[in-house]
Structure 1
Amino acid sequence: MRRLSTRHSVSVRPGRTTLNRQAGWFVVIGVASTAGQALLYWLLRHWASPPVANLASLLAVTVLNTEANRRLTFRGSPVRALRAHLAAGGLFVVAYLVTTGTVLVFRHYRPTASPAAEALVLVTSFALMTVVRFSLLRLVVFGPRRRV
C-alpha cells in the first residue's frame, strides 16, 4: 500500500520534480560557469581592457555553459544543439551588455580598482543574468512546444 501512495505522489507532481532537477543542475553549472568566467576575466584583464576581457571570458563560458545545460539541465528536450546555441547567443548579447556596463560603471567610480575587484563586481552582475538566463531557457528555448 505504501508503494502505491509513493507512486501516486510522484505522478501527481512530475513538473515539480523536473523543476527541482533542472534548478539543481543549473545551479551547479552556473556556479562553475561564474567561477570560470571570473577567473578567466581576471587573467585576461591583465592584458586587455574590461570590455575585451569580458567579451572573451563570457564567450568561452557561454558556449560551455549552454552545452552543459542542454545535456544535463534540460536533458530529454527535443531542442537541437544549433537552436539552443543560437538562442543562447541572443542571451549572450544581453548578458555582455549588462555585465560590461556594470564593470564600466564600477571603474568610473573606482578608476584604480584592481582586476580582482572588477571580477567580483562581474560575478554579481553575472549571477543576476544567470537567473534571467535560466528562466528564459526554461520557458522559451527548452519549454514545451505548443502547436497552434
Structure 2
Amino acid sequence: MVARSLGPPVATPRDAAAGRRHDHPRDAFRHHGGPFRHRRASCACIGESPQAAAPLAGEEKWEVGCFIAIGVLSTVGQALLYWLLRGWWTPAVANLVSLSVLTVLNTEANRRLTFRHSTTPPVRAHLGAGGLFVLGYLVTSGAVLWFKWLDPGASPVAETVVLATASVAVTCVRFVVLRLAVFAAPRDRDR
C-alpha cells in the first residue's frame, strides 16, 4: 500500500495566472472538474505516473484504436504486396520492398491520425520510423527465412502467413516506441 503524502500544493499554469493556489489535490478537482484531472493532481503528490493511476482517457483510447486499425490495414497491405512480389523476387527482397512501401504509408497515417496532436515534424517522424523499419525488417525477414529453412517447399501463401504473424509482434513494439519516443511531447522526451 502506498502512503499518501499531501506534498507541495498542486497548481497548474492556468491557476498561477489566475492567482489560485491549491493546498490539496482535491482543490484542483474543484477548479478544473473531472475525475481524470483529479487523478493527475493526486498522482503528482504520491509519485505515481498519471497513466498508472487513471484508466485510458479518451485520447489514449483513440490512439490505441486508430493504431490497431492502421496496423491491420498495413499488415494486410504488406502481406498482399509481399505475396505479389514473391512471384518475381526472393523472400528477403520481396519483404524489403513491401515493408519499405508500407512503413512510409503507415508512419504518415499514424502521424496524421493516431498521433494527430503531436508537434513532431514529418521528417523526424519518418526518421524515427526508419529505425523501427530496420527492426521490423530483421524480425520479419528472419522469421520468413527461418520458416523457409524449416520447410524449403513452403508456398508463398504460407510464407505470407509467417510474415504477417511476425509483423504483428513488431507492431506492438512499434506502438510503444512511436508513442513514447517519436511522437512524445518535447517535455516527455527529455525525461
Is TM (by shorter chain) over 0.5? yes
RMSD of equivalent CA atoms: 1.8
- Structure 1 length as normaliser, TM-score? 0.90
Question: Identity percentage over the alignment?
Answer: 55
The Cα offsets for residues 37-86 of structure 1, whole Å up to 9 and x where unpaired, read as 00000000010000000000000000000000000000010001000000
Matches within 5 A, 1:93-112: 93-112=134-153
Could you say if the C-alpha distance between residues 93 and 40 of structure 1 is closer, same or farther in structure 2, counting changes exceeding 3 Å? same
1:75 maps onto 2:101 in alignment = no
1:8 maps onto 2:49 in alignment = no
- SS at the partner of 1:27? helix
Matches within 5 A, 1:45-60: 45-60=86-101
Paired residue for 1:138?
Answer: 179
Could you say if the C-alpha distance between residues 11 and 64 of structure 1 is closer, same or farther in structure 2, counting changes exceeding 3 Å? same
Shift of 1:36: 0.3
Shift of 1:135: 0.2
The structure richer in helix per residue is 1
Whole-angstrom distance in 1 between the partners of 2:82 and 2:39: 41
Shift of 1:20: 1.1
2:119 and 2:185 in contact (8 A); partners too? no
1:126 maps onto 2:167 in alignment = yes
Q: Output the amino acid matched with 1:9.
A: P
Whole-angstrom distance in 1 between the partners of 2:179 and 2:92: 28
Shift of 1:144: 2.4
Specify which of 40, 57, 70 is matched with residue 81 of structure 2. 40
Whole-angstrom distance in 1 between the partners of 2:69 and 2:38: 27
After the TM superposition, which parts of structure 1 deviate over 3 Å for at least 4 consecutive aligned residues? 9-15
Shift of 1:145: 1.8
Q: Output the amino acid matched with 2:162.
A: V
**Unmatched segments (≥5 aa) in structure 1:** none
Could you say if the C-alpha distance between residues 80 and 125 of structure 1 is closer, same or farther in structure 2, counting changes exceeding 3 Å? same
Could you say if the C-alpha distance between residues 84 and 115 of structure 1 is closer, same or farther in structure 2, counting changes exceeding 3 Å? same
Paired residue for 2:21?
Answer: none
**Unmatched segments (≥5 aa) in structure 2:** 1-29, 41-50
Whole-angstrom distance in 2 between the partners of 1:21 and 1:43: 33
Paired residue for 1:62?
Answer: 103
2:82 and 2:94 in contact (8 A); partners too? yes
Specify which of 21, 26, 36 is matched with residue 62 of structure 2. 21
Whole-angstrom distance in 2 between the partners of 1:67 and 1:134: 14
